[in-house]
Amino acid sequence: MKIKLRPEKYFRYLYLPGLFGARRTKEILSVNPTIVPLREEAQEVAVFVFDYDANSIEEKDLPGVEDCFAYKTSGHTTWINIDGLRKTDVEAVCNHYDVHPLIVEDILSVNQRPKMEESDGSFFCLLNMLYYDQDKQAVNHEQISIIMGKDYVISFQEDAIQDVFNPLRDRLKIASSKIRQRGSDYLCYTMLDLIVDNYFVVMEKLGEHIEEVEEEVVRGNNPRSLVSITQLRKELIVLKRNFSPVRELMNGFLRSDSELLDDRTIKYFKDVYDHIVQAIDLVENYRDIIVSVQDLHINNVNLKMNEVMKVMAIVTCLLAPATVIGGVFGMNFDAIPYLHNQYGFWAAVTIMLAIPVWMILMFRKRGWF
């Protein structure tokens, strides 16, 4: 029978950067504010428009960004969503809606810190939509830019496949919904509310993973628990980096006295602010749990090590009398008692066995094992 050796099967365990997630660490820490990295140009761009008021709604997929320019003077509330970013398209839309060039730069850049900027006649919000990758057990993010002006909201997304706005699209189709009765400020609130609400979905899935790791640590049957704990701490860093600036973003709406914000809508922004504060507190709770789980894992490792050392110490103590007796009678001297006695050997063996037996009884009596 020929045995085929596969050394590459074992080499993967020697790749420590992959084992401890060094690649993920590089992704999290790859932020340099002195460099403005530009995103890759999208191959395809999808543009759809919701133009509505209390009595009517128009939903349309547009072939290009130039087709959305006519909705600026439609007299209705308009939501323009652009999936996939190209520099020429973003600049064309922003120029038509009188958006500042610095905001255009922020839209086209990657790894931006969530923020809100207020300018004459518009608000600009930049934040991340978060998704939980169940296979990689990691938090992925997609940057979204929202521009709110009088009677319009423009959103720029990276990925055309997924977002969190399906409930918004469903509400827009209901004539009696509150969003159909309000203006662009309520539309902007609804988008921010859906993004923040999805944060709790991500945290719930991450919390389930934390519970699984905690059970593994308590059972103590998974040697890779420390790797899982380290990965969870990195994902919590991603959450905290995204949540804390969003609190400042929502606080900017609450402090604003812009005419674009209806007094009736301010209390809804306050509700989103309360939600993001709750999310930040929950992240801190998760972090405390992870720290306690890590301490528990370290304590379990120390206990196992202590048990091993205890057994080794007991075995050493039990063998010590035999070593001493054998060493004494093994000396190269002629005048050693019982050296030529016919029962000397058996007497030495008996003593070597009797002392360890007596020691075992004493150890058990004292509860040492």
Where are the chain's structural domains? 9-300, 310-366
Q: Supply the pLDDT for residue 324.
A: 84
Give the pLDDT mean for 170-183: 92
In CATH terms, 9-300 corresponds, of 3.50.50.60, 3.30.460.20, 3.90.550.10, 3.90.1170.50, to 3.30.460.20
Measured CA to CA, the distance from residue 249 to residue 69 in angstroms comes to 28
Contact 104, 91 (CB under 8 A): yes
pLDDT of residue 326: 80
Model confidence at 33, pLDDT cuts 50, 70, 90, reads low
Closest listed residue to residue 289, CA positions, set 202, 201, 196, 206: 206
Q: Which residue has better confidence, 188 or 109? A: 188
53's CB contacts (< 8 A; 6+ apart) are 76, 77, 180
Query: What pLDDT is stored for residue 92 in this prediction?
Result: 93
**Are the C-beta atoms of residues 262 and 186 closer than 8 Å to each other?**
yes
> What is the percent of the chain with per-residue pLDDT over 70, rounded to a whole number?
88
What integer pLDDT is reported at residue 10 of this predicted model?
Answer: 42
One-letter identity of residue 72: K
pTM given for the model: 0.80
Residue 151 phi, psi (nearest 5): 70, 15
Confidence of residue 11 (pLDDT cuts 50, 70, 90): very low
Residue 4 scores a pLDDT above 80: no
Q: Distance between CA atoms of 90 and 146, rounded to whole angstroms?
A: 12
Helix axis angle for 263-329 and 184-219, nearest 10°, is 10
Contacts of 287 (CB under 8 A, 6+ apart): 233, 236, 240
Buried/exposed code over 132-154 (b: 16+ C-beta within 10 A; e: otherwise): beeeebbbebebbbbbbbebbbb
| Spatial separation of the C-alpha atoms in residues 185 and 154, rounded to whole Å | 12
* CATH of 310-366 among 1.10.10, 2.60.40, 1.20.58, 1.10.150: 1.20.58
CA distance 175 to 161: 27
DSSP code per residue over 89-143: HHHHHHHHTT--HHHHHHHHBSSPPPEEEEETTEEEEEEEEEEEETTTTEEEEEE
CA distance 207 to 270: 26
Share of the chain above pLDDT 90, in %: 47
State mean pLDDT over 62-72. 90
